Structure 1
C-alpha cells in the first residue's frame, strides 16, 4: 500500500487536508517503521478517526484535573 492523496480522499479526508499533510506523512511513516500495508492501514485508521478525518490536528486540552489523574 502506498500512501497517496487518492487514498486519503477515499478515507474521507478533504482535499485541502490531504494536500496539507501528505508530504510530511510519507517520510514520517518510513522513519518510524510504518512501512507495510497492515501498519499503514492501522495508522491511518487511528489517525483519520482521532483527527475527524484530519480536520482537527491539535488536542483541545480541555480536561479536568480529575480526568487527567484518571479519577471519576
Structure 2
C-alpha cells in the first residue's frame, strides 16, 4: 500500500470518527431531553443509553486504528 492510499484511508477514518462523535452527542442530547420530561419512557431511555454505549465503543476502536499505541 502506498502512502497516498494509506493517507486517504486515514482521512476516511477521521470523517467516520467525526460522524460517530456527532451521533454520540446527539444521543446524549436526546437522553437529556427524555430525562427532563416528567415521566420518561424507561424502555426508550434504556435503548438510547445502550446505543450510546455501543457507539462509544466503536469510537474508541476507530481512534485506536487512527492513532495506534506506540510502545517506547
TM-score exceeds 0.5: no
Instruction: Flag the structure with larger Rg.
Output: 2
Name the TM-score, length of structure 1 as normaliser: 0.28
Which structure shows the bigger proportion of residues in helix conformation?
2
Structure with higher RCO (Cα < 8 A, 6+ apart)? 2
